[in-house]
Amino acid sequence: MPAVAITKVNDVGKKTLLVFEEMAKRIEAIPLRAFDLFEKRGCELGHDVEDWLNAERELLGSSASELVEKDGAYELQVTLPGFEWKDVEVTATPNKVIVHAAKKARKKIENGDVVGTEFGSNEVYRSFELPNSVNVDKVTANLENGILRINAPEIAAAKEMHAAVA
């Protein structure tokens, strides 16, 4: 199973990560893109949620995911069809896992005229808040058959404190 490189950040407050800056730019662009979709449709009312969701999908990408707590660790699965391990970046902080996958278009047309295509550059940004702190140094990630699997072991003290409060 091909391992995916992980940027491990134990102290988030010391520096702003590039992945956070890029995500912030894209999130700030969502309302503008949604309004652009509204205008392109002739300012027809009643499609605001659809415009917003389409803008999110365009700017942040779309992928299914599942987060499970099991045996003192979080197991996160994210679908990334068409991506290779080298296209994927994972950033782990004590309370968050960020997935960024980017692939540039490489398709060449030798004969014929392209009438429409969805082939092209593809990019996905996903951020996952974790209920308890994890040991950043022990986070692992693998990509196989289009599924990114991340294992993030909880910090024992955080889990015990959570159990005592409950």
Distances (CA, A) of 137 to 69, 72, 100, 142: 18, 15, 19, 15
User: Looking up tokens 């995911």, which residue turns up?
Assistant: 65
Longest dimension (CA), the chain: 67
Q: Going by CATH, does the domain composed of 6-106+118-165 fall within 2.60.40.790?
A: yes
pLDDT tens by residue, 91-140: 999 998 989 888 876 656 666 776 666 555 577 888 889 999 999 999 99
Is this model's pTM higher than 0.85 or not? no
pLDDT tens by residue, 22-62: 777 777 887 887 888 888 888 888 888 777 777 777 766 67
Domain ranges (residues) in the chain: 6-106+118-165
